[in-house]
A and B are shown apart, each in its own frame.
Chain A
Amino acid sequence: MEHRQSFWENLVVVAIALVLIQTFLDDFAVVAGWAWAPREVLLYAGLALDVFFSVEFLTRLYFSFIRRRTGIYFWHERGWIDLLASLPLVLLSSGPAALALWSGSTIALGRASLLNVLKVVKAIRIARVLRLLRLLKVFARIRNTDSTMAQRHVAKVATLSVTVLIATVMLLGIAFSVFDVPSLETAYQSRITTLLAAVEGDLDRGAPIDAGELAARESSLLAVQREGRTLFSRFDSDYYARQVGPNDYGFAERGDFRLFFDLRPVNRDQSRNNLIYFAIIVVTIGALLFAYSPHFALTVTDPLHVMTRGITEANYSLEVKVPRLYRDDEVFELARAYNEHYLPMKDRRSAASADGFDLSMDDVQGLLDD
């Protein structure tokens, strides 16, 4: 049973390591302009990992339920992070993206709903930020101190800071989207809308449509087709097959014209932001692990550990080191009392009663039994 549990726990650790690599590469690939084939692999890998973590969450939730500790798991053992970093991603991010790929559909920039569609696309992108919560799962498995108190405090600070960052990014993303705060995306939408309005005006007037002139006006216009025949294409077919995936472009139909637009600049901008958030979170967690955690140990748990040993072990009489900078901290005020009053008193008592020794009855029990 323990072997099986250990196997699953190890598998989760491996999955966490993989998902971090996948999360980074997924956005890096977009920013770096990788070809579609490796990005397609990353997309499927993302879906597989999202499904894995969803199953993991549901399994943990199930076992915590049958052990009657659902509340403890969900609130105290950070089950809520497991939830936010699993099911919403399958439902809002990797799931829809994979479905779109399987069905061969792409993003339709429809006549009336162009803006709304782009907002949905943006909401999906925003939801991807939730993946960064998984960094906390890695953090939970790093034990750089023996103190459970230090681990709990540092984990609490990490959870709070990372969650606040992600929640803020998400909420601001939604708010900016709702209130149409100017951005690269809105500028992009505006340009496409203007172009489509011009095409509509030409069609209404019966004026000829010059695809080359449209392409010169709008750099994101990839191709123009009329009744299935290509009037203009910015790149050759090989390029599209190699570099452009279903999520990289959208199209709009006006009359018997179909116009294809390049969404990669918008995707790139979003991925660049995601990479910044990823880096912020990694650096924050690293700073907490390697700067705050030792500081917490130095100023809280180590002095307490030394005092506990001094009080409970007859032979232990080392003083607590009191750093000059923190000598006014409550912990070190206690440590000074321990150094200046308790240890001298213990020493005098020990000299009088000679009760400090290394042997205990447990040490000689074997001799007596023999």
Chain B
Amino acid sequence: MFVSRLLANPALGPLTPLQREEQIIQFLHVNAAALAPTLSTPGFFPGASWSQSLSLLLAALVEEVDVALMPRLDEILDRMQFGFVALLRPQAAGGERVRSQIREYLRAVLRRMDARRVMTGPLAAISYGFVDRYCDQMWARKGYSHFELTKVQRLRLGRDEVKAMIEATLLLKPIVCSGSSATAGLAEHASGVVQAQYAERVVAAAREALSLAPDELIRSAANASVSFQENRYIEATARIAAILSWRCRSYQPNMRADRGADSPDKSWLSVARRNHRFYGFDVKMIDELYSIAAENGW
């Protein structure tokens, strides 16, 4: 009841289910001292310690969020075109089977709290149409990102297939949490980046669970958490997914720019440009996205 009402708070209204969940978890941690006395009263969890109360609250929170999250994921997966799978690997399984396997994989991996945290940005990026928004412009400009996708990564795909692959990369970004040491690896890096060697191990481990998915996709999803500073050869789809994922982690759809302020995307990308080493972003790609945002008033 308490969790339901927290989730229904108008301040969280426009956010995605996972953004709401993350906000509430942060709120519980930050306000532990103020909440603990009240939550141990008979009205909530009588006699329970703060850690016990927190565990119960988090379990209830996840259960409650999943009510909205799982249909949202299904909706996204149902809408996605997996035609790119056949174009990448002609002998691979059909799109429907890949879709089904990814669905099952996500349901499993999203039981982990760290995976849910990694999924916050990707879910928002897909939900708010960021892939469409920026990829359409990249394609129209035929600049750096387009070159990286088509010439360096050598994707022989059309625009819509590339967009679908980036969305699939985003959806599978939580595979970095599938390794046994994943949590420790993520916790060490506030920016969420993992080492390239670790990503290699994740790819090897994920091949089993995502046996029908093409290797390019799994590798792209794992490398979306690898710093471009560490590995200059990571896929362009992974680099785009990394940027959009971080962009949308804190994205507020109804945010309006004050008079005298730059637009939200332009501001975020400008800050990201200065922090590109910290987050492991490709600075040239950030520059191009910044130009797109500036030209379109985003």
Contacts and interface: CB of A to CB of B under 8 A. Distances in A.
Interaction A to B? yes
Interface of A: 297-298, 301-303, 305-306, 309, 315, 317-321, 339-340, 343-344, 347-348, 350-359, 361, 363-364, 367-368, 370
Contact of B261 (A301, A319, A353): A319
Interface stretch (B71-79, B135-143, B236-244, B250-258): B250-258
Contact of A319 (B11, B12, B31, B266): B266
Contact of B250 (A298, A306, A315): A315
A306 B272 CA distance: 19
For A301, A339, A354, the residue with the greatest tally of chain B CB atoms inside 10 Å of its CB is A354
B90 interface: no
A297 to B, nearest CB: 7
Contacts of A319: 261-262, 266-267, 270-271
A318 B267 contact: yes
A329 B238 CA distance: 41
B261 A359 contact: no
B9 A359 contact: yes
B271 A317 contact: yes
A318 B6 CA distance: 27
15 contacts: A297-B259, A297-B260, A302-B258, A317-B250, A318-B262, A320-B260, A321-B260, A321-B261, A321-B262, A339-B270, A351-B278, A354-B22, A357-B23, A359-B27, A363-B11
Interface of B: 2, 5-6, 9, 11-12, 15, 22-24, 26-27, 30-31, 34-35, 38, 43, 190-192, 250, 252, 257-264, 266-268, 270-272, 274-275, 278-279
Nearest to B25: A354
A347 B272 CA distance: 9
Contacts of B34: 361
Interface of B is mostly: helix
A231 B191 CA distance: 106
A350 B191 CA distance: 10
Nearest to A310: B261
Nearest to A304: B260
B296 to A, nearest CB: 16
B257 A318 contact: yes
Nearest to B278: A348
A170 to B, nearest CB: 40
Contacts of A315: 250, 252
Nearest to B26: A357
A323 to B, nearest CB: 10
Q: Which 9 A-B pairs have the closest CB atoms?
A: A302-B260, A352-B190, A318-B261, A344-B274, A319-B267, A359-B27, A319-B262, A358-B11, A306-B261
Contacts of A298: 259-260
A294 B266 CA distance: 24
Given A297-B260, A320-B261, 8 more contacts: A302-B260, A309-B258, A318-B263, A319-B270, A343-B267, A347-B271, A353-B190, A358-B23
Nearest to B273: A344
Contacts of A351: 190-192, 278-279
Contacts of A318: 257-258, 261-264, 267
B30 A306 contact: no
A367 B57 CA distance: 14
A344 B275 contact: yes
A353 B190 CA distance: 8
